[in-house]
Amino acid sequence: MGKVPVTVLTGYLGSGKTTLLNRILCEDHGKRYAVIVNEFGELGIDNDLVVGADEEVFEMNNGCICCTVRGDLIRIISGLMKRIDRFDAIIIETTGLADPAPVAQTFFVDDDVRSKTALDAVVTVADAKHLPVRLGDSPEAAEQVAFADVIILNKIDLIDEQARQSLVARIHAINPYAKIVMANHCDIDLAEVLDLGAFDLERIVSLEPGFLTEEHAHEHDEQVKSLSLTATQPLLPELFDTWISDVLRTDGVNILRCKGILHLLDQPRRYVFQSVHMLANGIFTQPWTNTEPRHSRLVFIGRDLDEARLRAGFEACIQKGSATPGLS
């Protein structure tokens, strides 16, 4: 039996989140959803399996200060698993004020949740007109963007082309691998938000940094920003492992997310890595083909990233004096 996919849908009130949710529930795609809502009864949701969540954020006693989980989600999901024949997928609705990290971390930390479900993607619905203001005045808005796999810029017709470009550049400076979808009334193709496998390491095949990311990363003085590191020479696995563990242990509070596709020395396959704060996992996936360049790319999204130190640490993982990675 496959794992039940879970989509996390975030966004402020009025962003169009409920419109999107109802579209997902009503469209004729043959899938039945269980919906976990933040405030039961507040929203007009057209579904027969709606559960109210209490947004209880718990600390785990695992020596990791930023390791928080949503206790209510653990309880609700294990309850839903007792009638698993009644739905095919789960949607978790959270408000724009909620920290997305505990929701995502729940899917890494809890064995019961992890064995039965898989986080598919974090989808953030934002009001295109209001998002720039929010990014300026609320740290939660930047976190929502930082955690998103897909950002729906809703009510896009309310802003002009120049404002659109500037907003896209700003989002990419925070989160270079978020997919941005422009919409009005959330009139998007649902394939853009469902069944993405954004947390499925097997399905992460490339990490293309966003448009002009590196050059424009400092254009806005964002609290949350991204840092993209690349290497054209293979990394030594033990050095990388030691370094990244150390980075996440010491800076995991500030590093919201990290994703990487790495070429490790003497490994014919890609090593794909991701983390949410201090919680990390990595696996070997597809082999490199003979024609593609074997480059490593690692992207950090976080607050107050010490770029020079991260870059130096990453570069120290490269095998010294190695020849150009060859087509062996």
Partner 1 sequence: MSQSASILEQLGQQWQWSAYVLSACFDKAGNLAFALGDGSVRLLPAGADHEPVNLQAHEGAVLSLASAPKTGFLSGGDDGRFLRIDADGTTREIAAFQGRWIDHVASHANGVMACTEGKRLHVYAEKGEPLVREFPSTVGGICLAPNGYRIAVAHYGGVTLCSTRSADSTPVVLKCPGSHLAVTWSPDNRFVISAMQEACLRGWRLEDSDDLVMSGYSAKVKSWAWFNGGRYLATSGSPCAPCWSFKGRKGPKGHEPLTPGESTEALVTAVAGDPRHAILAIGYDNGQVIIAEPQRDQEVVIKPPGNGAITAMSWSADGHWLAFGTDTGFAGRLPVAG
| Residues forming the site for partner 1 (CB under 8 A) | 40-41, 51-52, 54, 56, 58-62, 69, 71-72, 74-76, 79, 81-85, 110-112
Helices (H), the chain: 17-26, 71-80, 100-109, 111-116, 131-137, 139-147, 161-174, 213-216, 237-251, 307-315
157 within 8 A of 46, measured Cβ to Cβ: no
Shortest distance (Å) from residue 37 CB to partner 1: 11
Q: Which strand (E) or helix (H) includes residue 92? A: strand 89-95
Nearer to partner 1, 113 or 121 (CB): 113
Residue that the structure tokens 């785990």 belong to? 60
Shortest distance (Å) from residue 67 CB to partner 1: 11
Tokens of 161: 């082309």
Nearer to partner 1, 110 or 251 (CB): 110
Shortest distance (Å) from residue 202 CB to partner 1: 25
264 within 8 A of 283, measured Cβ to Cβ: no
Cα–Cα distance measured from residue 65 to residue 62, given in angstroms and rounded to the nearest whole number: 8
3-state DSSP assignment of residue 309: helix
**Closest by alpha carbon to 151, among 136, 138, 164?**
164
Nearer to partner 1, 61 or 324 (CB): 61
Cα–Cα distance measured from residue 196 to residue 310, given in angstroms and rounded to the nearest whole number: 30
Nearer to partner 1, 115 or 165 (CB): 115
Shortest distance (Å) from residue 88 CB to partner 1: 16
Nearer to partner 1, 40 or 211 (CB): 40
3-state DSSP assignment of residue 67: coil
Nearer to partner 1, 113 or 125 (CB): 113
Q: What strands, in cross-sheet order, belong to the sheet with 255-262?
A: 224-231, 296-303, 255-262, 269-276, 279-287
Shortest distance (Å) from residue 85 CB to partner 1: 7
Shortest distance (Å) from residue 82 CB to partner 1: 4
Shortest distance (Å) from residue 58 CB to partner 1: 5
35 within 8 A of 47, measured Cβ to Cβ: yes
The 10 Å CB-count burial string (b at 16+, else e) for 132-165 is bebbeeeebbbbbbbbbbbbbbbbbeebeeeeee
Shortest distance (Å) from residue 43 CB to partner 1: 13
Nearer to partner 1, 101 or 167 (CB): 101
Cα–Cα distance measured from residue 264 to residue 319, given in angstroms and rounded to the nearest whole number: 10
Nearer to partner 1, 81 or 239 (CB): 81
Tokens of 204: 């992460």
Question: 222: number of CA atoms within 13 Å, CB side?
Answer: 31
